Structure 1
Protein backbone atom coordinates (compact mmCIF):
# COMPACT_ATOMS: atom_id res chain seq x y z
CA UNK A 1 0.00 0.00 0.00
CA UNK A 2 1.33 3.43 -1.01
CA UNK A 3 0.32 7.03 -0.38
CA UNK A 4 1.04 9.73 -2.93
CA UNK A 5 0.32 13.44 -2.96
CA UNK A 6 -0.34 14.60 -6.50
CA UNK A 7 -0.04 18.09 -7.93
CA UNK A 8 -0.14 19.45 -11.45
CA UNK A 9 3.66 19.69 -11.17
CA UNK A 10 4.14 15.93 -10.58
CA UNK A 11 1.19 14.22 -12.33
CA UNK A 12 3.46 13.13 -15.17
CA UNK A 13 5.51 11.03 -12.72
CA UNK A 14 2.56 8.89 -11.63
CA UNK A 15 1.02 7.48 -14.80
CA UNK A 16 -2.74 6.88 -14.50
CA UNK A 17 -2.93 7.60 -10.76
CA UNK A 18 -4.70 10.98 -11.07
CA UNK A 19 -7.23 9.63 -13.59
CA UNK A 20 -7.77 6.58 -11.36
CA UNK A 21 -8.35 8.88 -8.39
CA UNK A 22 -11.03 10.79 -10.31
CA UNK A 23 -12.58 7.48 -11.42
CA UNK A 24 -12.67 6.30 -7.80
CA UNK A 25 -14.27 9.62 -6.79
CA UNK A 26 -16.95 9.07 -9.44
CA UNK A 27 -17.66 5.62 -8.06
CA UNK A 28 -17.84 6.94 -4.49
CA UNK A 29 -19.76 10.17 -4.99
CA UNK A 30 -21.84 9.74 -8.16
CA UNK A 31 -22.52 6.00 -8.21
CA UNK A 32 -22.56 5.09 -4.49
CA UNK A 33 -23.78 8.38 -2.94
CA UNK A 34 -25.88 9.38 -5.98
CA UNK A 35 -24.66 12.97 -5.84
CA UNK A 36 -25.35 15.14 -8.88
CA UNK A 37 -21.78 16.14 -9.79
CA UNK A 38 -19.92 16.87 -13.02
CA UNK A 39 -18.35 13.89 -14.77
CA UNK A 40 -16.57 13.13 -18.01
CA UNK A 41 -14.76 10.07 -19.33
CA UNK A 42 -15.82 8.11 -16.24
CA UNK A 43 -14.23 10.65 -13.87
CA UNK A 44 -15.77 13.02 -11.29
CA UNK A 45 -14.41 16.56 -11.04
CA UNK A 46 -15.52 20.04 -10.09
CA UNK A 47 -14.43 23.67 -10.14
CA UNK A 48 -11.96 23.10 -7.27
CA UNK A 49 -9.79 20.62 -9.17
CA UNK A 50 -7.31 23.29 -10.31
CA UNK A 51 -3.52 23.63 -10.28
CA UNK A 52 -3.86 25.25 -6.83
CA UNK A 53 -5.09 21.97 -5.30
CA UNK A 54 -3.30 18.79 -4.26
CA UNK A 55 -4.71 15.27 -4.20
CA UNK A 56 -3.77 12.57 -1.73
CA UNK A 57 -4.23 8.99 -2.91
CA UNK A 58 -3.88 5.73 -1.02
CA UNK A 59 -3.31 3.12 -3.70
CA UNK A 60 -2.15 -0.39 -4.36
CA UNK A 61 -1.21 -1.87 -7.75
CA UNK A 62 -2.87 1.03 -9.60
CA UNK A 63 -6.12 0.74 -7.65
CA UNK A 64 -7.14 3.78 -5.60
CA UNK A 65 -8.35 2.80 -2.13
CA UNK A 66 -8.97 6.30 -0.75
CA UNK A 67 -8.44 9.97 -1.50
CA UNK A 68 -8.61 13.56 -0.32
CA UNK A 69 -8.31 16.89 -2.10
CA UNK A 70 -6.46 19.78 -0.42
CA UNK A 71 -7.18 23.33 -1.59
CA UNK A 72 -5.64 26.53 -0.23
CA UNK A 73 -8.13 28.95 1.27
CA UNK A 74 -6.45 31.64 -0.85
CA UNK A 75 -7.44 29.90 -4.12
CA UNK A 76 -9.49 31.71 -6.75
CA UNK A 77 -10.84 30.40 -10.06
CA UNK A 78 -13.40 32.69 -11.65
CA UNK A 79 -16.08 33.33 -9.01
CA UNK A 80 -15.00 30.32 -6.92
CA UNK A 81 -12.57 30.10 -4.01
CA UNK A 82 -12.87 26.91 -1.95
CA UNK A 83 -15.92 24.76 -1.28
CA UNK A 84 -16.65 25.68 2.37
CA UNK A 85 -16.29 29.42 1.73
CA UNK A 86 -18.30 29.29 -1.48
CA UNK A 87 -21.09 27.45 0.36
CA UNK A 88 -21.08 30.17 3.03
CA UNK A 89 -21.25 32.82 0.30
CA UNK A 90 -24.34 31.08 -1.17
CA UNK A 91 -22.64 29.92 -4.37
CA UNK A 92 -23.42 26.21 -3.82
CA UNK A 93 -27.04 25.04 -3.67
CA UNK A 94 -26.21 21.63 -2.19
CA UNK A 95 -24.54 22.88 1.04
CA UNK A 96 -26.27 25.20 3.55
CA UNK A 97 -24.73 28.67 3.81
CA UNK A 98 -24.78 28.62 7.64
CA UNK A 99 -22.28 25.77 7.84
CA UNK A 100 -19.64 27.72 9.81
CA UNK A 101 -19.72 29.45 13.20
CA UNK A 102 -17.46 32.26 11.87
CA UNK A 103 -16.57 33.78 8.52
CA UNK A 104 -14.70 31.37 6.25
CA UNK A 105 -10.99 32.12 6.57
CA UNK A 106 -8.71 33.20 3.74
CA UNK A 107 -5.11 32.69 4.84
CA UNK A 108 -1.89 31.17 3.50
CA UNK A 109 -1.64 28.81 6.48
CA UNK A 110 -5.17 27.38 6.23
CA UNK A 111 -6.11 24.73 3.68
CA UNK A 112 -9.39 22.94 2.98
CA UNK A 113 -9.80 19.18 2.84
CA UNK A 114 -12.61 17.98 0.56
CA UNK A 115 -13.76 15.00 -1.51
CA UNK A 116 -12.66 12.62 1.25
CA UNK A 117 -13.50 9.00 0.49
CA UNK A 118 -12.56 5.40 1.06
CA UNK A 119 -13.53 3.25 -1.94
CA UNK A 120 -16.63 1.16 -1.26
CA UNK A 121 -14.85 -2.05 -2.26
CA UNK A 122 -11.89 -1.53 0.08
CA UNK A 123 -11.96 -4.67 2.28
CA UNK A 124 -13.23 -4.06 5.81
CA UNK A 125 -10.12 -5.67 7.32
CA UNK A 126 -7.87 -2.91 5.89
CA UNK A 127 -10.19 0.11 6.10
CA UNK A 128 -8.75 1.38 9.38
CA UNK A 129 -5.22 1.09 7.97
CA UNK A 130 -6.24 2.84 4.75
CA UNK A 131 -7.92 5.65 6.69
CA UNK A 132 -4.81 6.02 8.85
CA UNK A 133 -2.55 6.26 5.78
CA UNK A 134 -4.91 8.80 4.18
CA UNK A 135 -5.04 11.10 7.22
CA UNK A 136 -1.31 10.76 7.88
CA UNK A 137 -0.43 11.74 4.29
CA UNK A 138 -2.99 14.57 4.33
CA UNK A 139 -1.49 16.11 7.48
CA UNK A 140 2.08 15.64 6.22
CA UNK A 141 1.24 17.23 2.85
CA UNK A 142 -0.68 20.09 4.45
CA UNK A 143 2.25 20.81 6.80
CA UNK A 144 4.70 20.65 3.86
CA UNK A 145 2.51 23.26 2.14
CA UNK A 146 2.75 25.54 5.19
CA UNK A 147 -0.65 24.79 6.70
CA UNK A 148 -1.17 25.11 10.42
CA UNK A 149 -4.89 24.36 10.09
CA UNK A 150 -7.11 22.32 7.77
CA UNK A 151 -10.88 22.80 7.46
CA UNK A 152 -13.06 19.95 6.27
CA UNK A 153 -16.77 19.24 5.82
CA UNK A 154 -17.01 15.63 6.96
CA UNK A 155 -19.47 13.16 8.52
CA UNK A 156 -20.41 14.25 12.04
CA UNK A 157 -19.06 10.96 13.41
CA UNK A 158 -15.56 12.54 13.41
CA UNK A 159 -15.12 12.58 17.23
CA UNK A 160 -15.01 8.75 17.20
CA UNK A 161 -11.93 8.51 15.01
CA UNK A 162 -10.09 11.85 15.25
CA UNK A 163 -8.53 11.17 18.66
CA UNK A 164 -7.57 7.64 17.59
CA UNK A 165 -5.65 9.16 14.68
CA UNK A 166 -3.97 11.72 16.93
CA UNK A 167 -5.71 14.73 15.38
CA UNK A 168 -6.36 17.93 17.32
CA UNK A 169 -9.85 18.49 15.91
CA UNK A 170 -12.69 20.80 16.91
CA UNK A 171 -16.11 21.71 15.55
CA UNK A 172 -16.10 24.78 13.29
CA UNK A 173 -19.81 24.69 12.44
CA UNK A 174 -23.15 23.11 13.23
CA UNK A 175 -24.17 19.52 12.46
CA UNK A 176 -26.34 19.55 9.33
CA UNK A 177 -27.95 16.91 7.18
CA UNK A 178 -26.74 16.77 3.58
CA UNK A 179 -28.10 14.00 1.37
CA UNK A 180 -29.30 12.03 4.40
CA UNK A 181 -25.92 12.15 6.20
CA UNK A 182 -25.12 14.32 9.23
CA UNK A 183 -22.08 16.44 8.37
CA UNK A 184 -20.09 19.12 10.14
CA UNK A 185 -17.21 21.45 9.34
CA UNK A 186 -14.23 20.65 11.53
CA UNK A 187 -10.96 22.43 12.09
CA UNK A 188 -7.80 20.33 12.37
CA UNK A 189 -5.03 22.15 14.22
CA UNK A 190 -1.63 21.18 12.79
CA UNK A 191 0.39 23.80 14.67
CA UNK A 192 1.51 21.28 17.27
CA UNK A 193 2.84 18.99 14.52
CA UNK A 194 5.10 21.52 12.84
CA UNK A 195 8.43 20.46 14.35
Structure 2
Protein backbone atom coordinates (compact mmCIF):
# COMPACT_ATOMS: atom_id res chain seq x y z
CA UNK A 1 0.00 0.00 0.00
CA UNK A 2 1.36 3.41 -1.03
CA UNK A 3 0.27 6.98 -0.40
CA UNK A 4 0.78 9.95 -2.69
CA UNK A 5 -0.18 13.59 -2.27
CA UNK A 6 -1.00 15.01 -5.68
CA UNK A 7 -1.00 18.62 -6.82
CA UNK A 8 -1.24 20.25 -10.22
CA UNK A 9 2.52 20.76 -9.94
CA UNK A 10 3.31 17.02 -9.67
CA UNK A 11 0.46 15.26 -11.54
CA UNK A 12 2.77 14.58 -14.50
CA UNK A 13 5.04 12.48 -12.26
CA UNK A 14 2.29 10.01 -11.32
CA UNK A 15 0.83 8.77 -14.60
CA UNK A 16 -2.87 7.95 -14.38
CA UNK A 17 -3.13 8.23 -10.59
CA UNK A 18 -5.11 11.49 -10.57
CA UNK A 19 -7.53 10.23 -13.24
CA UNK A 20 -7.82 6.90 -11.41
CA UNK A 21 -8.69 8.75 -8.20
CA UNK A 22 -11.44 10.70 -10.00
CA UNK A 23 -12.67 7.42 -11.51
CA UNK A 24 -12.76 5.83 -8.04
CA UNK A 25 -14.70 8.84 -6.74
CA UNK A 26 -17.22 8.39 -9.57
CA UNK A 27 -17.54 4.67 -8.87
CA UNK A 28 -18.29 5.29 -5.20
CA UNK A 29 -20.24 8.56 -5.18
CA UNK A 30 -22.17 8.36 -8.46
CA UNK A 31 -22.48 4.65 -9.27
CA UNK A 32 -22.58 3.08 -5.78
CA UNK A 33 -24.09 5.92 -3.66
CA UNK A 34 -26.23 7.27 -6.55
CA UNK A 35 -25.35 10.91 -5.83
CA UNK A 36 -26.15 13.44 -8.53
CA UNK A 37 -22.69 14.90 -9.19
CA UNK A 38 -20.86 16.20 -12.28
CA UNK A 39 -18.96 13.62 -14.32
CA UNK A 40 -17.03 13.44 -17.56
CA UNK A 41 -15.00 10.68 -19.21
CA UNK A 42 -15.84 8.29 -16.37
CA UNK A 43 -14.57 10.70 -13.69
CA UNK A 44 -16.37 12.63 -10.93
CA UNK A 45 -15.32 16.23 -10.31
CA UNK A 46 -16.63 19.50 -8.98
CA UNK A 47 -15.78 23.20 -8.75
CA UNK A 48 -13.29 22.57 -5.92
CA UNK A 49 -10.91 20.40 -7.97
CA UNK A 50 -8.64 23.35 -8.81
CA UNK A 51 -4.89 24.05 -8.71
CA UNK A 52 -5.39 25.38 -5.15
CA UNK A 53 -6.28 21.88 -3.91
CA UNK A 54 -4.22 18.79 -3.13
CA UNK A 55 -5.37 15.16 -3.29
CA UNK A 56 -4.18 12.48 -0.89
CA UNK A 57 -4.43 9.05 -2.53
CA UNK A 58 -3.90 5.57 -1.07
CA UNK A 59 -3.14 3.10 -3.85
CA UNK A 60 -1.44 -0.17 -4.64
CA UNK A 61 1.56 -0.67 -6.88
CA UNK A 62 -0.60 -1.05 -10.00
CA UNK A 63 -2.30 2.35 -9.61
CA UNK A 64 -5.55 0.92 -8.20
CA UNK A 65 -7.00 3.58 -5.88
CA UNK A 66 -8.04 2.31 -2.45
CA UNK A 67 -8.91 5.65 -0.84
CA UNK A 68 -8.67 9.36 -1.40
CA UNK A 69 -9.30 12.82 -0.10
CA UNK A 70 -9.10 16.42 -1.28
CA UNK A 71 -7.51 19.25 0.69
CA UNK A 72 -8.53 22.83 -0.14
CA UNK A 73 -7.30 25.99 1.59
CA UNK A 74 -10.06 27.94 3.32
CA UNK A 75 -8.50 31.10 1.87
CA UNK A 76 -9.07 30.08 -1.77
CA UNK A 77 -11.49 31.85 -4.11
CA UNK A 78 -12.64 30.91 -7.60
CA UNK A 79 -15.42 33.11 -8.89
CA UNK A 80 -18.24 32.95 -6.33
CA UNK A 81 -16.82 29.79 -4.72
CA UNK A 82 -14.41 29.36 -1.82
CA UNK A 83 -14.57 25.92 -0.16
CA UNK A 84 -17.45 23.46 0.09
CA UNK A 85 -18.39 23.85 3.78
CA UNK A 86 -18.28 27.65 3.63
CA UNK A 87 -20.17 27.75 0.34
CA UNK A 88 -22.87 25.50 1.80
CA UNK A 89 -23.19 27.86 4.78
CA UNK A 90 -23.47 30.80 2.36
CA UNK A 91 -26.37 29.02 0.60
CA UNK A 92 -24.49 28.36 -2.65
CA UNK A 93 -24.97 24.56 -2.56
CA UNK A 94 -28.48 23.17 -2.63
CA UNK A 95 -27.46 19.65 -1.53
CA UNK A 96 -25.95 20.62 1.86
CA UNK A 97 -27.95 22.56 4.48
CA UNK A 98 -26.71 26.08 5.25
CA UNK A 99 -27.07 25.34 8.97
CA UNK A 100 -24.15 22.89 8.97
CA UNK A 101 -21.91 24.96 11.31
CA UNK A 102 -22.44 26.42 14.78
CA UNK A 103 -20.30 29.46 13.91
CA UNK A 104 -19.19 31.30 10.77
CA UNK A 105 -16.98 29.19 8.48
CA UNK A 106 -13.32 30.04 9.09
CA UNK A 107 -11.01 31.60 6.54
CA UNK A 108 -7.42 31.20 7.72
CA UNK A 109 -4.04 30.09 6.37
CA UNK A 110 -3.83 27.36 9.03
CA UNK A 111 -7.29 25.91 8.34
CA UNK A 112 -7.88 23.72 5.28
CA UNK A 113 -10.93 21.76 4.22
CA UNK A 114 -10.81 18.01 3.81
CA UNK A 115 -13.50 16.86 1.37
CA UNK A 116 -14.43 13.92 -0.84
CA UNK A 117 -12.87 11.58 1.73
CA UNK A 118 -13.55 8.01 0.66
CA UNK A 119 -12.47 4.40 0.88
CA UNK A 120 -13.34 2.52 -2.32
CA UNK A 121 -16.41 0.35 -1.79
CA UNK A 122 -14.63 -2.74 -3.14
CA UNK A 123 -11.88 -2.63 -0.49
CA UNK A 124 -12.51 -5.78 1.59
CA UNK A 125 -13.92 -5.22 5.08
CA UNK A 126 -10.82 -6.82 6.63
CA UNK A 127 -8.62 -4.11 5.03
CA UNK A 128 -10.87 -1.04 5.35
CA UNK A 129 -9.68 0.03 8.81
CA UNK A 130 -6.03 -0.19 7.76
CA UNK A 131 -6.67 1.73 4.51
CA UNK A 132 -8.69 4.39 6.33
CA UNK A 133 -5.99 4.83 9.00
CA UNK A 134 -3.32 5.14 6.30
CA UNK A 135 -5.41 7.78 4.50
CA UNK A 136 -5.93 9.86 7.65
CA UNK A 137 -2.25 9.56 8.60
CA UNK A 138 -1.14 10.82 5.18
CA UNK A 139 -3.85 13.51 5.26
CA UNK A 140 -2.35 14.80 8.51
CA UNK A 141 1.19 14.75 7.12
CA UNK A 142 0.10 16.59 3.97
CA UNK A 143 -1.92 19.14 5.95
CA UNK A 144 1.01 19.93 8.24
CA UNK A 145 3.36 20.24 5.26
CA UNK A 146 0.93 22.79 3.78
CA UNK A 147 0.94 24.78 7.04
CA UNK A 148 -2.45 23.60 8.27
CA UNK A 149 -3.07 22.82 11.91
CA UNK A 150 -6.77 22.11 11.44
CA UNK A 151 -8.88 20.50 8.72
CA UNK A 152 -12.65 20.90 8.57
CA UNK A 153 -14.52 18.00 7.08
CA UNK A 154 -18.11 16.87 6.60
CA UNK A 155 -18.21 13.27 7.82
CA UNK A 156 -20.61 10.49 8.61
CA UNK A 157 -21.79 11.24 12.14
CA UNK A 158 -20.35 7.92 13.35
CA UNK A 159 -16.88 9.56 13.48
CA UNK A 160 -16.57 9.33 17.31
CA UNK A 161 -16.37 5.51 16.99
CA UNK A 162 -13.20 5.56 14.89
CA UNK A 163 -11.48 8.92 15.59
CA UNK A 164 -9.33 7.51 18.40
CA UNK A 165 -8.28 4.51 16.31
CA UNK A 166 -6.69 6.75 13.68
CA UNK A 167 -4.96 8.93 16.30
CA UNK A 168 -6.57 12.28 15.47
CA UNK A 169 -8.33 14.58 17.90
CA UNK A 170 -11.68 15.64 16.44
CA UNK A 171 -14.30 18.13 17.57
CA UNK A 172 -17.86 18.66 16.33
CA UNK A 173 -18.26 22.03 14.60
CA UNK A 174 -21.94 21.72 13.72
CA UNK A 175 -25.09 19.73 14.36
CA UNK A 176 -25.78 16.21 13.10
CA UNK A 177 -27.88 16.55 9.95
CA UNK A 178 -29.29 14.15 7.43
CA UNK A 179 -27.95 14.48 3.89
CA UNK A 180 -29.18 12.01 1.27
CA UNK A 181 -30.35 9.59 3.97
CA UNK A 182 -27.08 9.63 5.95
CA UNK A 183 -26.40 11.45 9.22
CA UNK A 184 -23.43 13.79 8.73
CA UNK A 185 -21.60 16.36 10.82
CA UNK A 186 -18.87 18.96 10.27
CA UNK A 187 -15.81 18.06 12.33
CA UNK A 188 -12.51 19.84 12.95
CA UNK A 189 -9.51 17.50 12.82
CA UNK A 190 -6.58 18.74 14.90
CA UNK A 191 -3.27 18.21 13.08
CA UNK A 192 -1.25 20.56 15.29
CA UNK A 193 0.43 17.56 16.95
CA UNK A 194 2.20 14.62 15.33
CA UNK A 195 0.05 11.60 14.65
CA UNK A 196 0.79 8.49 16.68
Same fold (TM over 0.5): yes
Give the Å deviation of 1:124.
1.3
Q: Distance in 1 between matches of 2:65 and 2:151?
A: 23
- State the match for 2:140 in structure 1: 139
> Following the alignment from structure 1 to structure 2, what is the Cα–Cα distance between the partners of residues 5 and 189?
19
Aligned pairs (5 A) from 1:37-76: 37-60=37-60, 61-76=62-77
The separation in 2 between residues aligned to 1:119 and 1:108, in whole angstroms, is: 30
Q: Is 2:159 the partner of 1:158?
A: yes
Q: Runs (4+) of structure 1 moved beyond 6 Å?
A: none
- 1:164: how far off? 1.1
1:31 corresponds in structure 2 to: 31
1:189, distance to aligned residue in structure 2 (A): 1.3
Tell me which residue corresponds to 1:181. Answer: 182
Partner of 1:121: 122
Aligned equivalents of 1:29, 1:82: Cα separation in 2: 19
Q: Matches of 2:45 and 2:180 in 1, distance apart?
A: 19
RMSD in angstroms over aligned alpha carbons? 0.9
Partner of 2:16: 16
Q: Distance in 1 between matches of 2:191 and 2:24?
A: 28
**Once the 2 structures are TM-superposed, how far is the Cα of residue 187 of structure 1 from its aligned partner?**
0.4
Q: What residue in structure 1 maps to residue 106 of structure 2?
A: 105
Q: Distance in 2 between matches of 1:66 and 1:148?
A: 22
Cα deviation, residue 139, structure 1:
0.4
SS in 2 for 1:26: helix
